[in-house]
Amino acid sequence: MKNVQHLDIQENFDKTTVPIGDVAFDASKQAPWTLNVKPRQYNVVNVVGTDENNKQYFYNKFSIKTDGKDYPLNINNSQLVQEVPEAKLSF
């Protein structure tokens, strides 16, 4: 009854582990469970460039920031969808 049990909760992404929060159990309390979910910030950086042959290239970087630490994650699939308005003739 005197020992408090703690468990850190983490999320696995390939080779990166991102903390979610922690849970604790204290049998001596009326409400024995406590849950602490850490706030997260999701960040995406998109880069669009043009090479010397005027070909465009695109790449993306995705990361999660929690506890003041940035966790870069691998992107398994990315696609670009470009929408161009149709040409209209007017007189």
pLDDT of residue 90: 76
Nearest alpha carbon to residue 43 among 73, 79, 77, 9: 73
* Extended beta strands in 1-91, E state: 4-13, 16-26, 33-37, 41-50, 56-66, 69-73
Confidence of residue 33 (pLDDT cuts 50, 70, 90): very high
Per-domain residue ranges for the chain? Answer: 4-73
3 state DSSP class of 51 = coil
What sign has the CA pseudo-torsion 83, 78, 51, 54? negative
Per-residue model confidence as pLDDT tens digits over 10-28:
999 988 999 999 999 999 8
